[in-house]
Amino acid sequence: MGRDMNEHEEIAKALKARLSELRMHLAKVDRELHKPLSADSEDQATELENQEALEVIKKTETTEIHQIEAALERISEGTYGTCAKCGEPIDPRRLKALPTAATCISCSA
């Protein structure tokens, strides 16, 4: 494989690390969400509020996981760093700031 492969190896490594971190955290969130509610109604109200917050976290993290998986797929396919819309190369500075970016700045606007 050529130069690009090595170029993205570091990114893939970082993305994979982030992915396992997210999955681990998500499993924890899931366990919290499946905990039985307290019998006390006041405690229950707090717990339900917590669960709502956890649902939001779960949604955000699930989205990030999907974005990372898609980015890893683009790396293995060799399309990483190319805009999915216009086919132009994505600015490396953009990729550095947002490694999961699938489109260039003009297409994401």
- Which residues are at the interface with Zn ion (CB under 5 A)? 83, 85-86, 104, 107
Give least dist CB 82 to Zn ion, A: 9
Distances (CA, A) of 85 to 18, 31, 106: 26, 39, 10
Q: Which is nearer to Zn ion, 22 or 107 (CB)?
A: 107
Instruction: Return the bridge partners of 89, or none.
Output: 82
25 vs 85, beta carbon nearer Zn ion: 85
Query: Is 75 in contact with 12 (CB distance < 8 Å)?
Result: yes
| Rounded least distance, CB 64 to Zn ion, Å | 22
